[in-house]
Structure 1
Amino acid sequence: MSKRIKKNKDGTKKNLDNHLAPKFDYPSEVSLYFGFSPIKTPTIKKEDIDASKSFSMEQDGSSPLSCVCEEKFAILRTYLKNEMHSLPQPVMLEYKKPLRGMKQKKHGENHVGLEIIGVSSAAAEALAIRTACSILEDEGYENLELRINSIGDKDSILAFEKNLHNYVRKNISSMPTELQKLVKQDVFNLTRNTREEWSKWTDGAPKSISFLTDHSRNHLKEALEFIETLGFPYHISSNLIGNPKFCSHIIFEITTETNSGPQLVAHGYRYERISKRAGLKKETPALGLSVFYKPIKNKSKLRPLPKAKYCLIQVGFAAKLKVLNVIELLRKAKIAVAYSIFKDKLSSQILSAENLKVSHLILIGQKEALEDAVVVRDINTRVQETIPAEKLAYHLKSLK
């Protein structure tokens, strides 16, 4: 039985056309290649601020990671109000920050928000990270490095918090007065803190990664497999825990090396735990990422994104790991490709390709993944050819 497509009052199919940003820029163009839809910047309203108050938390300010709860309430309200939950999931949004109603950004900086709503797969983290790094690399940022941690699901966080309280209870009498004050404000401040003089207490404190449930541990494992395939250097940072009142699973930061040390250029986290409070009927997976950078001047004029003539299809997890590298390779060559890293069934991917009326399929299976190759198949004649991945862009441009 086919799934009924919800329609607007005028009978047209629901889509994001009414919410698209009136003007695109370079980050918008990059995000379009990866499947994001650039939308008008949402507005934070009083209801978002009121809803976020119960999730506020005293932080010691030692971490640049800022988890703005009212921002995520505004995103989820926009998602719900505009019935984006009735669209094919996940919904992937790109918008300019700060949101209307938030503190203004620093002069000369650009802020970009990326949201992936409606999918729990760790491929979402990989896709967001790949897109952010592509935006940054196009802006001239080099030596990007990823810091990552997981606080897991609700059960993982509760176990972590319980053990953290036990640790503090046993050791608080020996802590410096300032540190005592911080952990009394919020026990998680002990984990967040990176001051060297307090390492005697912070190094021995419980780590969130030690209390992950099997589900949360598998989620982290899958995310790291994607990140390793992307080729980004990374390390586990136990002090990255964000706001455990509404964050969950993976929390990450992207930094670049400067003369004065590492500079934060992006951060992201999951926030599905507030989705029901935002009005959704059930807990809905949601991932947000913020990118901040100083743009390069004198860029070439933007051109409309070409219509996708090709559809990339992957079969098996090993092939799925390779997808984002292929998309990035083709993006650099200005070749748009339809794909869905979140679909596993071959039949559903082929059906999507048929509906898009593409001319060729790009196939990656277990064999191709191991050989770093792809199969290019003419959708009409069924003639196909195996091509090394690094030569794919040249091959596609040679097709008529």
Structure 2
Amino acid sequence: MASSNIHEPVRVTEDTEPYYKYTGPFKSGMAIANHYGFRPIAPLEPDEKIKRIFQEKTKKEKRERTDKAGEWYIDAADKLAEVDAYFNEMDGWEQPVMAAHTLHPRRKTGKVRMTIFGSTKSIAEGLILKATLSILEEMGHTDMCVDLNSLGTQESRNQFLEDFIAHYRDNLNDLGDCCQTQFKHDPLKVIMCDNDTCLEIQDDAPQPITYLTDETREHFKECIEYVETFGLPYRINHQLLGSSHNDSHTLFQIYTSGEDDDGDRNILARGERHEHMPKQLGYNRCLPTISVSIDMPGQQYESYTEVESESVQNPKLYYLHLGKEAKRESLPVLEQLREAGILVIHSLSYDGLSPQMQQAKDMNIPYALIMGLKEVQEGSIILRDMFTRAQETIPQDRVATRVKKVVKEE
């Protein structure tokens, strides 16, 4: 299990769908995404149909594409392209689908995008965030911070929007000319203004977190708990509202703690959860989706080739978890394995142990790491030989060293 092979595509499920190998400047980022369970796929770009839908949806609004502090931007056309690809190509894959690809046309900077389709669970946010942070650390970024917010269900979001728009409409005459114009196009954008008068109006504006249902509040709490396991500073940013054109749920952005030459935060990645975008494409069902867009400096152009299923690397290790506490503590263990160059498969979207054991058996994987509540409390983990059923308990901070030795001896 040599680390020199870490950039080769690694199997993430037992299906036989094609994988893609990236060999250009996106290589490391895509390899990290693959380690966390994201299948490398070919780049997805909006076709003419999606561009027309996007233009109609936004009324051909010209968006300001800058990275000013707190500004939110993920191109809706990119998300529509991903959703369309899911229904045309991925709906029959093992669910939920975790996919990663790159973007560079039409852009000043390249991007790595990771998307999870079909999961409503907070572990989806946890995986996306952890993989994103690992990619950014690999790029050399330090002193990173995370902003989070949630707009909840479509119903709670609509109620918030109604009250938010009413609040700003009542104060419209006090807004600056630019904000009055912006309010007509996308009301949520006015919250980005740093004019003193606008800030006073903003202080009294409704906050979406107060509209959350008990279920969405618990979901958001779990997302925060995942971030806390990363040991990074974070805050709930009430200005993080997405766009009124999109049906955002959880939102986050990652930035460096310093400022750029203009005194603005250097935002490195943005992500959000949505579920109603398929209806914009004519599909008659919702699709719970969370995605992230990571900026790659400079005009990066990827090089990628399709890899047949039989050429994809098969990990010799399966990570098994039992219980939400073990699921939460899984991400630091996966990172430890990645840093050691150890290939691993996981199914953190599963809740029960039986389906995980069955998948490991079906894929003929010889070793498994098992973590439950007892192991979380003791700071340990079980290493099991799946063929002989012999097992040993090892400290979590020594898992990579022990696994490497056992697998090498096989």
Which residue does 2:275 correspond to in 1?
272
Two-structure CA RMSD over aligned residues (Å): 2.3
Instruction: Report if the CA contact (8 A) 1:314-1:364 is conserved.
Output: yes
Alignment of 1:25-174 (within 5 A): 25-56=27-58, 63-82=70-89, 84-98=90-104, 102-106=105-109, 110-174=110-174
| Structure-to-structure mapping, 1:246-395, within 5 angstroms | 246-258=246-258, 260=260, 262-294=265-297, 307-395=314-402
Q: Structure 2, unaligned stretches of length 5 or more?
A: 1-13, 299-310
Gaps of 5+ in 1: 1-12, 296-303
* Superposed displacement of residue 179, structure 1: 3.2
Task: State the 1:198 CA deviation.
Answer: 2.3
Instruction: Summarize deviations over 1:352-390 as a string: whole Å, max 9, x none.
Output: 110121222211110111222111112222222111111
CA contact (8 A) 1:265 1:291 kept: yes
Between the aligned partners of 2:294 and 2:231, the Cα distance in structure 1 is 19
2: CA distance between counterparts of 1:215 and 1:244?
23
Tell me the secondary structure at the aligned position of residue 393 of structure 1: helix
Task: Kindly indicate whether the alpha-carbon contact (under 8 Å) linking 1:191 and 1:238 is maintained by their aligned counterparts in 2.
Answer: no
- Counterpart secondary structure, 1:222: helix
Corresponding position of 1:16: 17
2:11 aligned partner: none
1:279 CA drift (Å): 4.1
Segment of structure 1 superposing worse, 331-340 or 157-166 = 157-166
3-state SS of paired residue (1:210): helix
Label 1:195 to 1:311 Cα distance change in 2 as closer, same or farther (>3 A): farther
Distance (whole Å) between structure 2 residues aligned to residue 187 and residue 138 of structure 1:
37
Q: Secondary structure of the equivalent of 1:140?
A: coil
Distance (whole Å) between structure 1 residues aligned to residue 313 and residue 379 of structure 2: 26
Structure 1's 187 and 259: CA in aligned 2 closer, same or farther, altered over 3 A? Answer: closer
Q: 1:372 & 1:41 partners in 2: Cα distance? A: 40
Instruction: Measure, in 2, the Cα distance between the counterparts of 1:194 and 1:85.
Output: 44
Deviates most, 234-243 or 211-220: 211-220
TM-score (norm 1): 0.86
CA-to-partner distance for each residue in 1:187-217, whole Å, 9 max, x for gaps? 3233343445521111111111111222322
Flag the 1:176–1:65 CA change in 2: closer, same or farther, 3 A: closer
Asked if structure 1 preserves the Cα contact closer than 8 Å seen for 2:336 and 2:400, the reply is yes
User: 8 Å contact 2:44–2:82 — kept in the other structure?
Assistant: yes
Give CA deviations for 1:259-286 in whole Å, capped at 9, x if unaligned. 6353111111123211133243420111
How many residues get paired? 372
Output the CA distance in 2 between the equivalents of 1:208 and 1:193: 18
Bigger Cα displacement from structure 2, 141-150 vs 380-389: 380-389
d(CA) in 1 for partners of 2:253, 2:360:
35
TM-score, normalised by the number of residues in structure 2: 0.84
Higher relative contact order (CA 8 A, sep 6+): 2
Residue 149 to residue 359, structure 1, CA distance change in 2 (3 Å)? same
Q: Over residues 98-125 of structure 1, what are the superposed CA-to-partner deviations in whole Å (9 max), with x where a residue is unaligned?
A: 3xxx52324xxx4211111111111111
